[in-house]
Amino acid sequence: MSTSDHDRLLIIDFGSQVTQLIARRLRELSVYCEIHPYQNVTDEFLAEFAPKAVIFSGGPDSVTREGSPRPPRSVYGLGVPILGICYGQQVMMQDLGGRVEGGKISGGGGTAEFGRAFVRPEGKLDLLRGWFESEREQVWMSHGDHVAALAPGFEVFGTSPHAPFAITADTARNFYAVQFHPEVHHTPNGAKLYENFVTLAGFGGDWTMGAYREEAIAKIRDQVGSAKVICALSGGVDSSVAAALIHEAVGDQLTCVFVDHGLLRLDEAEEVVGMFRDHMNLPVIHAQEQELFLGALEGVSDPETKRKIIGRLFIDVFQKYADQIAGAQFLAQGTLYPDVIESVSFSGGPSVTIKSHHNVGGLPEKMGLKLVEPLRELFKDEVRALGRELGLPAHFIGRHPFPGPGLAIRCPGEITRAKLEILRKADAVYIDQIRKHGLYDEIWQAFCAILPVRTVGVMGDGRTYDYACALRAVTSVDGMTADYYPFSHDFLGETATRIINEVEGINRVTYDITSKPPGTIEWE
Ligand code: XMP
């Protein structure tokens, strides 16, 4: 069975910021779905995709504007249930003969509405089963335009003070259209609406991790045949799960290369190599290239130069080791679904480069390799579930992200071996504290940075002149935005004392309380 044999739901993306959340809600219900930008959804595409149901996402445009985004008309003739959300509701109304008006700032009837709102149910609708049972329910609205007249066949099943057509349906055709966003956290019971929608569309919930594992293995065997595969193992969750899965599929045809650039955390290389080599019996080349990297970084303090040097050397080193594996034809990569989704860009312009992330992007063409990307259909938490399914230890699966350039970008200014040693020890104490206090899983990422300043302190009766370090801990969903973690003063005080007592070379500890934006998570 391949993904195309599953019941498939199509999400047509009109550019909402939260379209991915719709997919998340559906995957949680074991429903296979794909997001496609409206421009790509043609009559031929629909025929080939053969969705069992369709969802229209929200979007920033106005259907009252000439040339605004629309799905092909044939979508309404597929005979499958359709759910329109916000802009998607307005599209459906306009396409099917209703009327949409631009938002008014105040006044009765339909007006622009942003934020929390309360919807009153009107009559019974299967889509709302188990949810709209009290007098009113909280939802999240974010719309400028509103529906002013329903399309023929539609009825109203819920109203809010500013959206008289908050919930509408044509039950004969199984078309549903809501003004609010059921996929967001601020619509507390919104998941129920998706559950009811997929139930009435007849989805059986056949998208499970066990099934995915079996299919992915069959697919890898089919793609790779008897050829050899190489994988750059970083020790992160994505490349580790990809490696474990490919190993299960093709065994020793896979060789992993773990590039040790000397910028790893305390005992990290041994842990990663030990786990794969000894516990999983997976062939791993431990490329000990610390001297090469640290030598090239000597005297360099500019963040982008550091990143460029590390990125370039990484590719050279990986290629050197990969060349020793005779007959390798494939390169494995832990690419995830969010990297693959072609999002709808309304600005059109290129975005500013804040930091040049390093990856092995250019390698396949350079080395004449084909890609194996067995995680392309998964979200991060699904990758974690797959890792557990494959028997990777829980503490490994739940590890915080770690950047490719490693400690280099946590050591602002010049990098020296001595500073790296101090940083490793301080970071280990900090993470130990977080684990001991049971906070590790609440925090998205935590680490220590060693600052390029030395400060005066007093320990015992003596003067010290040592480095200051900064602790960083953030909450985030995807690393794109983040907030600092609100540790208690007791925790911060205890951690500072431990670091200063246990780590020679540090006599001052600070806590970074910058959110992203305006800061970034890493210091460089
Ligand atoms: P920033 O510092 O940009 O980081 O807010 C966002 C997330 O990305 C990680 N990061 C990287 N990951 N290669 C990576 O694989 C990189 O070059 C890189 N730079 C930052 C960072 O740790 C955080 O999780």
Contacts of 92 (CB under 8 A, 6+ apart): 56, 82, 84, 151, 175, 177
Kindly give the number of the ligand 1 atom that is closest to the alpha carbon of 402.
22
Give the position of tokens 């290629």: 319
User: What's the count of helices (H) and strands (E) in the chain, helices before strands?
Assistant: 15, 20
Q: What confidence score (pLDDT) does residue 107 get?
A: 43
The total of other beta-carbon atoms located within 10 Å of residue 277's CB is 16
Q: Which is catalytic among the residues 113, 183, 195, 522?
A: 183
Task: Tell me which H or E stretch contains 340.
Answer: helix 337-340
- Predicted confidence at residue 471, as pLDDT, reads 98
What would the two tokens of residue 395 be? Answer: 């503490």
Same fold, 7-200 and 209-397: yes
Q: Give the atom of ligand 1 at the shortest distance from the alpha carbon of 405.
A: 17
Domain ranges of the chain: 7-200, 209-397, 416-511
Protein residue closest via CA to atom 11 of ligand 1: 403
* Annotated catalytic residue 183: yes
Q: How many CB atoms lie within 10 A of CB 286?
A: 19
Compute the Cα dihedral for 495, 498, 504, 506 and give only its sign.
Answer: positive
d(CA 374, CA 362): 19
Whether omega for the bond prior to residue 486 falls within 30 degrees of 0, making it cis, is no
Q: Is 86 a catalytic residue?
A: yes
Per-residue pLDDT of the chain (524 residues; tens, 9 = 90+): 456 678 999 999 999 888 888 998 998 899 999 999 999 999 999 999 999 999 999 999 999 999 999 999 999 999 999 999 999 999 999 999 999 988 654 444 556 777 889 999 998 999 999 998 888 999 998 878 889 999 999 999 999 988 889 999 999 999 999 999 999 888 989 999 999 999 999 999 988 898 889 989 999 999 999 999 999 998 889 999 999 999 999 999 999 999 999 999 999 999 999 999 988 899 999 999 999 999 999 999 999 999 999 999 998 999 899 889 988 999 999 888 777 765 554 433 445 667 676 666 667 777 788 999 999 888 888 899 999 999 999 988 999 999 999 999 999 999 999 999 999 999 999 999 999 999 999 999 999 999 999 999 999 889 999 999 999 999 987 787 889 999 999 999 999 999 999 999 999 999 999 998 899 999 99
pLDDT given for residue 435 in this prediction:
98
Residue whose Cα lies nearest atom 18 of ligand 1: it is 403
Q: Indicate if ligand 1 lies below 6 Å from the C-beta of 401.
A: yes
pLDDT in the model for residue 347: 39
Q: What are phi and psi of 400, to 5 degrees?
A: -65, 155
Contacts of 303 (CB under 8 A, 6+ apart): 355, 409, 412, 524
Q: Which sign does the torsion angle of CA 328, 246, 5, 28 carry? A: negative
Dist. CA 523 → ligand 1 center (Å): 10
For residues 184-202, one letter each, b for 16 or more C-beta atoms within 10 angstroms of the residue's C-beta and e for the rest, the string is: beebeebbbbbbbbbebbe
CA atoms lying within 13 Å on the CB side of residue 281:
6
Architecture of domain 416-511: 2-Layer Sandwich (3.30)
The pairing of strands 254-260 and 284-288 is parallel
CATH topology (fold) of 7-200: Rossmann fold (3.40.50)
> How many residues belong to the chain?
524
Residues 94-106: pLDDT tens digits? 999 999 988 654 4
Instruction: For residue 307, count other CB atoms closer than 10 A to its CB.
Output: 20
Single out the catalytic residue among 146, 162, 181, 247. 181
Residue of minimum CA distance from atom 17 in ligand 1 = 357
Structural element, H or E, at residue 333: none
Distance 357 CA to ligand 1 centre (A): 7
Residue 182: the pLDDT is: 95
Q: Tokens 């199509």, residue?
A: 10
Q: Report how far apart, in Å, the C-alpha atoms of 88 and of each of 12, 126, 176, 250, 483 are.
A: 9, 20, 10, 44, 31
Q: How far is the CA of 412 from the centre of ligand 1 (A)?
A: 15
From the list 33, 86, 231, 469, the catalytic residue is 86
Say how many Å lie between the CA of residue 307 and the centre of ligand 1: 11
| Residue 303 in contact with ligand 1 by CB distance below 6 A | no
Q: What atom of ligand 1 comes closest to residue 236's alpha carbon?
A: 15
Sign of the alpha-carbon torsion through 28, 31, 32, 36: negative
CA angle in degrees (0–180, nearest 5) for 256-262-265: 90
- Residue at 129: amino acid letter: R
Q: Cβ distance 440 to 295 under 8 Å? A: no
CB atoms within 10 A of CB 135: 8
Q: Any bridge partners for residue 473, and if so which?
A: 446
Full-model pTM? 0.77
Q: What is the atom index within ligand 1 of the atom nearest the CA of 401?
A: 24
The Cβ-side half-sphere exposure at 369, using a 13 Å CA radius, reads 27
| Superfamily, domain 209-397 | HUPs (3.40.50.620)
CA dist 382 and 472 (Å) reads: 27
Task: Dig out the tokens for 520 from the structure.
Answer: 């970034």
**Is the C-beta atom of 479 inside 6 A of ligand 1?**
yes
Closest-lying ligand 1 atom to the alpha carbon of residue 357? 17
Please give the distance, rounded to the nearest whole angstrom, from the Cα atom of residue 522 to the centre of ligand 1: 7
